[in-house]
Structure formats: C-alpha cells, structure tokens
Amino acid sequence: MDERTKAERLAQARLEIAARIKRVCERLPRAEFEKLVDRMAGIQCKYDVFPNIPELPGSEGEMGGSVEADIVRAECSGRRI
C-alpha cells in the first residue's frame, strides 16, 4: 500500500471517528478533541486498516483493552486520570 493510500485511509478513519464522538466530547477543548481523534484513528488503522504495518504516526504508546476505554471516557468527560 502506498503512502497516499495510507494517508487517505487514515483521514477517512479520522473523519468517521470525529463524527461519532463529537457530541459526547463537546466539552473537551478543541486541541484535546483533535489529539483524541488522532490517537483513536491511529489505533483503528493499526488494527483494522493496516494490520501488517508495524507502526503508524500517532499510534505509539497506546494502551490496550479496558484501560484505553477508561482513558477515552475520562477525556470525553473532561476528567483527568
């Protein structure tokens, strides 16, 4: 898969995620919302779109399982954990 296709798929995942979580995260500052969407898109692409590619920009350091879900819920509610 070439770089252009990767960038297009990452952008598509980012738009879909932003649309799904926008209402839930409306109290989150815009910069934090963008950071969250970037992380989530990186994770989605890493496991669903590009499963055979070792690393994607912005996907380093994510935690798996329920811990990630707890972080997303905390960030969307504006709490710091």
Which tens digit of pLDDT belongs to each residue from 33-79?
Answer: 999 999 999 888 888 766 665 554 544 444 444 555 555 555 555 55
Range of the domain at 38: 3-77
Tokens standing for residue 36: 């969250």
Q: What is the pLDDT of residues 25-46, one digit of tens each?
A: 999 999 999 999 999 998 888 8
Q: What whole-number distance in Å separates Cα of residue 17 and Cα of residue 10?
A: 11
Contact assessment for residue 75 and residue 36, using Cβ atoms and an 8 Å cutoff: yes
Q: What whole-number distance in Å separates Cα of residue 71 and Cα of residue 81?
A: 7
| Residue 18 identity | A
Rounded to two decimals, what is the model's pTM?
0.60
Domain count, the chain: 1
Mean pLDDT of the chain: 75
Instruction: Compute how many other C-beta atoms are within 10 angstroms of the C-beta atom of residue 56.
Output: 17
